[in-house]
Amino acid sequence: MEELYARDIYGKTLVELGKKDKRIVVLDADLSSSTRTSLFKKEFPDRFFNFGVAEQNMMAAAAGLASCGKIVFVSTFAMFATARALDQIRNTICYNNFNVKIVATHSGITVGEDGSSHQALEDINFLRAIPNIKIIVPVDAHETRDAVISAYENDGPFYIRLGRLKVRTIENKKQFVLGKGYIVEEGKDLAIIASGIMVDLALRANESLKKENIEATIINMHTIKPLDEELIVEIAKKYKKILVCEEHQVIGGLYSSISEVLIRKYPIKIERIGVENKFGQSGSIKELLEYYGLSADCIAKKVKEYIRQ
Amino acid sequence: MKEKIKNLKSKANEIRKLVIRMTTCAGSGHPGGSLSSADIITCLYFEVMRHNPNDPNWKDRDRFHLSKGHCCPALYAALALCGYFPVDELWTLRKLNSKLQGHPDRHTPGIEVASGSLGQGLSVALGMALAAKIDNKDYRVYCLMGDGEIQEGNIWEAAMAASHYKLDNLCGIVDYNHFQIDGRTEEIMNLEPIINKWEAFGWHAIECDGHNFQELLESFNMAKNIKLKPTVIIAHTVKGKGVSFMEHVVDFHGRAPTQKECEIALKELEDLDKLDSQL
């Protein structure tokens, strides 16, 4: 089974885009080796700028560059890209609807041992309410490439959320279409709508559930905004039971987004797996996923409880 | 030179009158800082900057970014007088669906980037200056900041980066009128020693009287000739400049004149105009 770092593919995709389009400029805030924007820097030193540990300046400067016709990719860790520079993103990038593509790495609890200060669990919530921005959580490295190209091809601000870890390549992926989720695996008992690494964990949960004759349909909802409302309603009508899985607070992320759709269009009771209004902490990845209730085992357990209801 | 300065004075006076009328008509706005920055803005738009009102997106234009966005009445007046849009549009300031929002917005011809949330403008200007360097273009970037505004940490992040990247095509101006909403800058959050701060961040710093066109023109000219570092002009100004009862009065930071005050202010500015034309 192939496992790749999404951020490796991000760096390579930047180089690929940089070769064909001179308008591309890349900014980083002292984390270029981690975010892999260093790959772009090596190829195009004249179009790469390190801003040091100063994310607010980097975001507003990205807007200035974009105002002069540049397509600007900005990278740092998800925590600092969003929480630290939120006003700059809201007022100077999004309000102007500039071509600034924020690609943040090290999101979520799976940052691991660095602990709470580095585990962005609220980033989607911070950005989701801002007009103009589009938010993508790619499922694996290949979809990361698609997402980055989509951000390049479509005007306006984007937020692409990547993790730190290697991610397993998902089989049965559909062609990436911005704003369109898709079914990765068909089941009969309920639907799991997930994003990012939670899709892989849901697939693993499904493996063990199948032994007990339980099968979930698993949907990769890679675009959080604009959300695929049509698919959500269709799935709700078909399965009547939806479990949403996200590596984010249960407040303000994918679960909230889906709830907002269903409450208006097809009100059913849905369930969730996510971080339950808590801060993260240090620990191994396995321990953290277990402790915060996000692991494949936790998903399988939740599914069993849910379908018994 | 004498004739040039006479013309600039007359333009600045026109801008001041429009600021008074616009804010009175809108019933709100920020006349104090608009009046203190009127001469700086006049100098830039009517003498210093390379720009073309008939082609606001001209690639080689000099860029101006109003980081202290609340003083947009002065900028809107300047843009209208330059011909970016009809002067009559000024009376739509702060009205629903107007191009002239309470703080600058890109829907207004001549506005490069929206502003209003303080402290971000120098970074925006830095981004524009970097773009010029990447593209090997010789346009210059001007960024007008408020004095209270430079209390924002983001300004100093930008200051550090601008000198790091040797952006000699970037010129910052601080409208140093010594007043912010809550009172005198000395009392609220002291900015001194202001010159040392900018110099310590690697900038060439120039001080001048922000209401003296001769000094302003010399400062902008000097800034053009400074190489390998950005320049900041600390322009000493008077909040509410030009209207006796508004000068040094903090209340007019964010309050529009009443109809009565408007009439008195316009009369004073008319008289000033007559005085200037007799010189």
The beta strands (E) that lie in chain A are given as: 3-5, 24-28, 48-50, 71-77, 100-105, 134-136, 158-161, 166-168, 182-185, 190-194, 216-220, 223-225, 242-249, 271-275
Q: CA A231, CA B71: separation in Å to the nearest integer?
A: 48
* Optimal mutation site among B58, B112, B118, B134, interface A, most CBs of chain A within 10 A: B134
Asked if B117 lies within 8 A of A87 by C-beta distance, the reply is yes
Is residue A153, in this structure, part of any structural domain at all?
Answer: yes
Picking from A103, A137, A168, the residue at the C-terminal end of a domain is: A168
Asked if B161 lies within 8 A of A54 by C-beta distance, the reply is yes
Question: Residue B257: its pLDDT value, please?
Answer: 97
Question: Residue B1: its pLDDT value, please?
Answer: 84
Q: Which of A25, A64, A70 sits opposite B124 (nearest CB)?
A: A64
Closest alpha carbon within chain B to A53:
B157
Q: CA B37, CA B30: separation in Å to the nearest integer?
A: 11
Question: Residue A57: its pLDDT value, please?
Answer: 98
Per the structure, the complete domain to which residue A158 belongs is given by 3-168
Question: Residue B86: its pLDDT value, please?
Answer: 98
Question: Residue B275: its pLDDT value, please?
Answer: 86
Is residue A177, in this structure, part of any structural domain at all?
Answer: no
Asked if B127 lies within 8 A of A96 by C-beta distance, the reply is no
Q: For chain A, positions 181-220, list CB contacts with chain B under 8 A.
A: none
Statement to judge: residues A145 and A7 lie in one domain: yes
Asked if A68 lies within 8 A of B135 by C-beta distance, the reply is yes
Statement to judge: residues A89 and A164 lie in one domain: yes
A55-68 mean pLDDT = 98
Statement to judge: residues A10 and A145 lie in one domain: yes
Question: Residue B124: its pLDDT value, please?
Answer: 98
B136 at interface of A, judged by CB pairs closer than 8 A: no
B158 at interface of A, judged by CB pairs closer than 8 A: yes
A45 at interface of B, judged by CB pairs closer than 8 A: no
Statement to judge: residues A187 and A234 lie in one domain: yes
Query: How many residues are given for chain A?
Result: 309
Question: Residue B277: its pLDDT value, please?
Answer: 78
Statement to judge: residues A197 and A161 lie in one domain: no
pLDDT of A1 higher than 90: no
- Given the residues A55, A122, A185, A246, the one annotated as active site: A55
Residue A55 annotated as catalytic: yes
Question: Residue A309: its pLDDT value, please?
Answer: 84
pLDDT of A255 higher than 80: yes
**What are the average pLDDT values for consecutive 10-residue runs of chain B, which has 279 residues?**
93 98 96 97 98 97 98 98 98 97 97 97 98 98 98 98 98 97 96 98 98 98 98 98 96 95 97 83
Statement to judge: residues A150 and A299 lie in one domain: no
Percent of chain A residues topping a pLDDT of 70:
100
Q: How far is CA B254 from the centre of its chain?
A: 16
Terminal-residue alpha carbon distance, chain A: 35
Is residue A60, in this structure, part of any structural domain at all?
Answer: yes
Instruction: Give me the long-range contacts of A126-130 (CB less than 8 A, separation at least 24).
Output: A126/A82, A126/A83, A126/A86, A126/A252, A127/A82, A127/A86, A127/A89, A127/A159, A127/A225, A128/A224, A128/A225, A128/A252, A128/A253, A128/A257, A130/A89, A130/A90, A130/A94
Statement to judge: residues A186 and A273 lie in one domain: yes
Q: Are B236 and B195 in contact (CB under 8 A)?
A: no
Residue B41: which of B72, B6, B18 has the closest Cα?
Answer: B72
Sign of CA dihedral B200, B201, B206, B207: negative
Q: Which of A49, A56, A59 sits opposite B130 (nearest CB)?
A: A49
pLDDT of A113 higher than 80: yes
Question: Residue B273: its pLDDT value, please?
Answer: 87
**A277-303 pLDDT tens trace:** 999 999 999 999 999 999 999 999 999
Q: How confident is the model at residue A88 (pLDDT cuts 50, 70, 90)?
A: very high
Look at chain A and report how many structural domains it folds into.
2
Statement to judge: residues A189 and A163 lie in one domain: no
Asked if A61 lies within 8 A of B131 by C-beta distance, the reply is no
Q: Which of B112, B134, B164 sits opposite A67 (nearest CB)?
A: B112
Q: Chain A contacts of B131, Cβ < 8 Å?
A: 25, 64-65, 67-70
**CATH number of the domain that residue A223 is part of:** 3.40.50.920
Picking from A115, A139, A168, the residue at the C-terminal end of a domain is: A168
B125 at interface of A, judged by CB pairs closer than 8 A: yes
Closest alpha carbon within chain B to A56:
B154
Q: Chain B contacts of A49, Cβ < 8 Å?
A: 130, 165
Distances from the Cα of A133 to the Cα of A52, A94, A151, angstroms: 25, 6, 11
**A159-181 pLDDT tens trace:** 999 999 999 999 989 999 999 99
Asked if A57 lies within 8 A of B123 by C-beta distance, the reply is yes
Is residue A283, in this structure, part of any structural domain at all?
Answer: yes
The three-state secondary structure class of A82 is helix
Question: Residue A244: its pLDDT value, please?
Answer: 98
Asked if A87 lies within 8 A of B112 by C-beta distance, the reply is no
Q: Strand pairing partners for A242? A: A191
Residue A177 neighbours by CB distance under 10 Å: 13
Q: CA B60, CA B74: separation in Å to the nearest integer?
A: 24
**CATH number of the domain that residue A18 is part of:** 3.40.50.970
Domain B2-278 in CATH 3.40.50.970? The answer is yes
Residue A308 neighbours by CB distance under 10 Å: 6
Asked if B131 lies within 8 A of A64 by C-beta distance, the reply is yes
| Domain chopping of chain B, boundaries | 2-278
Distance from CA of A45 to the nearest CA of B (A): 11
Q: Is the peptide bond before A45 cis (omega within 30 degrees of 0)?
A: no
A47 at interface of B, judged by CB pairs closer than 8 A: yes
Asked if B130 lies within 8 A of A69 by C-beta distance, the reply is no
What ipTM does the predicted assembly reach? 0.97
Picking from A140, A168, A196, the residue at the C-terminal end of a domain is: A168
